[in-house]
Amino acid sequence: MADLKVDLTAPNGKKITLPTGLFINNEFVKGNGGTITSINPTDESEIATVQAASADDIDTAVKAARKALNEPSWRDLPPTDRGIIMYKFAELLEANKETLATLETWDNGKPYSVSLNEDLAEVVGTIRYYAGWADKLHGQTIPTTPGMKFAYTLKQPIGVCGQIIPWNYPLAMAAWKLGPALACGNTVVLKPAEQTPLSILFAAQFIAEAGFPPGVINIVNGYGKEAGHALASHLDIDKVAFTGSTTTGKQIMKTASINMKNITLETGGKSPLLVFDDADLDQATKWAHIGIMSNQGQICTATSRILVQDTILDKFLEQFKEVIKSTSKVGDPFAEDTFQGPQVTKQQYERVLSYIEAGKSEGATLATGGVPNKNVGDGKGFFIEPTVFTNVTEQMKVYQEEVFGPFCVVTTFKDEAEAIRMANNTTYGLGSAVFTTNLDRAHRVAERIEAGMVWINSSQDSDFRVPFGGVKQSGIGRELGEAGLAAYSQTKAVHVNLGLKL
C-alpha cells in the first residue's frame, strides 16, 4: 500500500523511505491495533508513526505462517536452498547497513558507531552462520538388535514460532531468533518491541527480495498487552521465544502453558564481576567499564555487581573512576566521540533515577555520577551520567535488583570462598566475569559461579558461535551457536522392524 510509507531525514542527514505497515505474507498491510509513535530519546521529538497489530492481525499472521510451513512447504524445501535464501538476506542487510544502523541509533539512542560496526556486523554474521547450518541438520542411526531392528532419528522443525524481541538490541535480537528458526525449517511471527519498531520494519523489505516465500517471516509491530499476549496465547503457535524482563518472561511462561508451547526465555540479570588481588587492574577496570556502561547499561548480561578483593579496593576504585571519566563521553549518539547516548525511553530514564535515589536512601555511597546529564541536549533527552555506588551491602535493593542503566555497585570480599558466595547471592544467573592471573583459580571459580556464561578476564564479548543463556530466573534454554538449533528443532525416533514376527 502506497500510504504505508514515510519519507524521513535522519539527524546524520541520511534520507530514508520507511515502511510503516505490518509485514504479513510478504506485504506491508494496515494494522487494527492503532498506531505506535517512535520517540527520539536524544531530543524527545517524534520520528515516525507505524501500524500496531491487534489480536486479529496476529491471527492473520499466524495463519500465513502455518500455510507457509505446509502449503507449499517451507519445511520441505531442500535445506541447501533454505541456506541460499538466508545468505541472500544477509547480503541485503549488509548492503543497507548504514541505513539500518541510522534507524537503530535514531530510534534507540545507542551510538551510531556501535550500531554500524558492532550490532549490524553481528546481525549479518548471525544470519550467515545459521545459513551455513541449514543443510547440516541430520539425525542418527542407532544400533539396536542386528538383523531384527533398525532405528534412526530425524531432526524436524517445531512449526510456527512466535518471537518477541526487546528494545536494547532490536536487529541483533531478531537475528538471534530468526537465524536458527529458519535454518531448522520453521516459520515465524516476530513482534518487535513497541519502543523501537523502525529498523526491523526497514529490514522487512528484504525478506521477499531475498526469496523467502510469503508467510515464512511475518513482522507484527504491536503493544505487549495486546499483540504480545495474543502471540503467546495463540493456540496455533508451537513455540514462543522471548527476550526481556523476568517479570514479563514469567507472564509469557504462564500464557504459553495454555497449549504447552515449547518456550525459550532469556530474561533479566544482575551479573557479578569478580576482581581478585592478582588481577591486571588496568585491564580489569577497562573491562568493568565495558561490562556495565556500554549500550547505556541496557544489557541483560551487564556486570553490574562489581566484587573486589578488599586489599585492592582503593586502587581499583581510583582507576575505575578514571576510566569512566576519560572514556564515558555522554552525548549525541551520532557524534563520533560519543560512548554513551540517552536511555531508550523516559520510562527507562526515570527507572534508573529511582534506583539512584534508592541507593542514597539505603546508605550506599555515591562514588561518581548519579545525576541527569542535562548539559547534553539543552535540557531535553534521556541522558544519565555513569553512576557508581560503593559501601553497598548484599541486602540493599541496588545490589539485588536489575537496574538496566549505566549504574553499578562496588563491594568487597575477603577470599575466594566469599567471592563465590556473594556472586551467587542473587535470584539471577545470566552472565559473570572473573579477573585473575591465576589460571587454576579462574577455572575453579568459573565452574562454581551459578550463571549460564562466565567471562575470564573480559566482559560482554559474546560471540554468535557460542551458546548464550542463563540459569535460575535468568531464563530457560540457549540461543546462539549449535545449541541455538536445539531450541528450534525436535527429534523424531523411527523404529524399523526387519523381520521380527509375532
Active site residues: 266, 300
For residue 325, give the amino acid letter: K
Would you state the cell numbers that stand for residue 175, as one nine-digit string? 537475528
DSSP state letter for 340: B
Cα 494 to Cα 131, 150, 499, distances in angstroms? 27, 8, 16
All cell numbers assigned to 364? 550506599
Q: What is the DSSP letter of 494?
A: E
Q: CA-CA distance, 275 to 280, in Å (whole number)?
A: 9
Pairing of strands 35-39, 46-51: antiparallel
**Roughly what angle, to the nearest 10 degrees, separates helices 313-327 and 281-293?**
50
The one-letter amino acid code at 455 reads: W
C-alpha 215, offset from chain centre:
24
**Residues 204 and 33: beta-carbon distance below 8 Å:** no
For 1, 12, 48, 302, the CA distances from 408, given in Å and listed in that order, are 47, 32, 34, 9
Instruction: Tell me, letter by letter, the H, E, C secondary structure of 145-163.
Output: CCCCEEEEEEEEECCEEEE
Q: What are phi and psi of 22, to 5 degrees?
A: -75, 150
H-state helical runs in 148-213? 170-183, 198-210
> Can you give the three-state secondary structure of 408-421, one letter per residue?
EEEEEECCHHHHHH
Closest CA to 396 of 361, 429, 424: 361
Question: How many CB atoms lie under 10 A from the CB of residue 371?
Answer: 11
HSE toward the beta carbon, residue 199, CA cutoff 13 A: 34
Report residue 380 CA to chain centroid gap. Answer: 28
Range list of H helices, 257-407: 281-293, 313-327, 346-362, 397-400
Pairing verdict, β 433-435 and 160-164? unpaired
Distances (CA, A) of 186 to 77, 155, 308, 432: 11, 12, 46, 32
Give exposure, 334-358, as e/b (b: 16+ Cβ within 10 Å).
beeebbbbbbbbeebbebbbebbeb
Residue 498 CB burial class (10 angstroms; 0-12, 13-18, ≥19): exposed
